């Protein structure tokens, strides 16, 4: 039953591709040296790992063993927090704590030092740091070791890394650690990052702010923390929509519409096509959202009957028009 590395399952809704790095499970395996080495690393069984290495003509061949995506024994030992196994692999066999997983898959560029952030074991992270772990190196998805710690919700590791001087807003082109924490519903690490003065309004292409990321993944806890920490509830950033425009346009976010309005969201900011949130809600025939938005929305001149029923009727009429229809 050798170990495997698997990406976290994608959410059953559209959202940014910012899932946590990987999780470990077991699967059936054969009786090869690779299987034995991987199993020993997974279990933290140093005695068995030593025995496997002794059976090899060249001990360093162990670093060529690959569970898929370039993930090897040191990655596996690190993510399990198996400190003694890590010491053996690094000190006796010369394992590289910054060796990036090759390829273009989910784990491309992930190093053993990065993977140790998932362990939640500060002693293992500290050991790899003391043996050359690179605090600013990023994987192929722009994630540093702090990103990995934040998105998995490892509070102790996040605190430790920040204490070592890692910039709280470090961004290698795919967003800050705060984005990672918010889009993975990790409110505890969101809180830690904000306490260390993370910028709640930093943006990343395709997602926007951390607040938008938290909204996409329906994390009300993260949203509350971000707004309390200074997130601009009306900021559309790189997305052509505000959080309120998104919630009224997609549906299924009625509770979030209510929360955003209470938090100061402006219902008079339109989407990229000039539609106000109340029009988007009306097009979906969502009476509840239209009722919430109506007292706060300025009258729209093109809607002759400015009432809740009138707005919904107008939206239905507009939606029923044939494509390309123009008034005479």
> How far apart, in whole angstroms, are the C-alpha atoms of residue 99 and residue 318?
58
Domains and CATH numbers, the chain: 1-141 (1.25.40.20), 167-239 (1.25.40.20), 241-321 (1.25.40.20)
**DSSP labels for 175-197?**
--HHHHHHHTT-HHHHHHHHHTT
Query: DSSP secondary-structure letter at 299?
Result: P
CA atoms within 13 A on the CB side of 35: 9
- Tokens representing 186 are 């990790």
Q: Which of 62, 48, 180, 190 is nearest to 114 (CA)?
A: 180
- Report d(CA 292, CA 254) in Å as an integer: 10
Measured from the Cβ of residue 55, the count of other Cβ atoms closer than 10 Å reads 10
pLDDT in tens, the chain (328 residues): 223 333 333 333 333 334 444 444 443 345 799 999 999 999 999 999 999 999 999 999 999 998 777 899 999 999 999 999 999 999 999 999 999 998 767 889 999 999 999 999 999 999 999 999 999 999 999 999 999 999 999 999 999 999 999 999 999 888 999 999 999 999 999 999 999 999 999 998 878 899 999 999 999 999 999 999 999 999 876 667 899 999 999 989 999 999 999 999 999 999 989 999 999 999 999 999 999 999 999 999 999 999 999 999 999 888 877 765 444 4
Please state the pTM of the whole predicted model: 0.86
Q: Find the Cα–Cα–Cα–Cα dihedral 290, 293, 295, 296, rounded to 10°.
A: -160
| C-alpha R_g of the chain | 25
Q: Which secondary-structure segment (H or E) carries 203?
A: strand 203-204
CB contact at 8 A, 267 and 249: no
């Amino acid at each position: 039953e050798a170990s495997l590395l698997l990406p976290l399952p994608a959410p059953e809704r559209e959202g940014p591709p910012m899932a946590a790095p990987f999780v470990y499970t077991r699967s059936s395996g054969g009786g090869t040296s690779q299987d034995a080495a991987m199993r020993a690393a997974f279990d933290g069984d140093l005695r068995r790992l030593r025995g496997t290495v002794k059976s090899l003509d060249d001990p360093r061949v162990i670093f060529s063993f690959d569970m898929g995506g370039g993930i090897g024994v040191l990655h596996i030992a690190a993510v399990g927090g198996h400190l003694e196994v890590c010491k053996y692999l690094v000190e006796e066999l010369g394992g590289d704590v910054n060796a990036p997983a090759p390829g273009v898959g989910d784990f491309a560029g992930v190093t053993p030092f990065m993977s140790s952030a998932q362990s939640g074991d500060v002693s293992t992270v500290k050991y790899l740091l003391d043996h050359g772990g690179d605090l600013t190196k990023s994987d192929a998805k722009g994630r540093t070791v702090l990103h990995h710690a934040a998105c998995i919700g490892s509070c102790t590791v996040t605190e430790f890394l920040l204490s070592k001087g890692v910039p709280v807003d470090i961004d290698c082109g795919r967003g800050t650690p705060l984005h990672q924490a918010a889009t993975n519903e990790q409110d505890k690490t969101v809180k830690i990052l904000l306490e260390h003065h993370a910028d709640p309004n930093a943006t990343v292409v395709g997602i926007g702010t951390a607040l938008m990321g938290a909204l996409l993944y329906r994390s009300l806890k993260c949203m509350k923390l971000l707004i309390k920490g200074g997130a601009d509830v009306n900021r559309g950033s790189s997305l052509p929509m505000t959080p309120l425009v998104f919630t009224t346009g997609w549906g299924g976010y009625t509770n979030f519409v209510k929360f955003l309005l209470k938090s100061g969201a402006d219902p008079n900011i339109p989407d990229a096509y000039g539609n106000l949130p109340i029009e988007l809600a009306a097009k979906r025939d969502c009476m509840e959202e239209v009722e919430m938005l109506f007292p706060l929305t300025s009258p729209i001149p093109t809607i002759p009957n400015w009432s809740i029923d009138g707005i919904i009727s107008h939206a239905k009429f507009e939606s029923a028009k044939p494509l390309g229809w123009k008034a005479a």
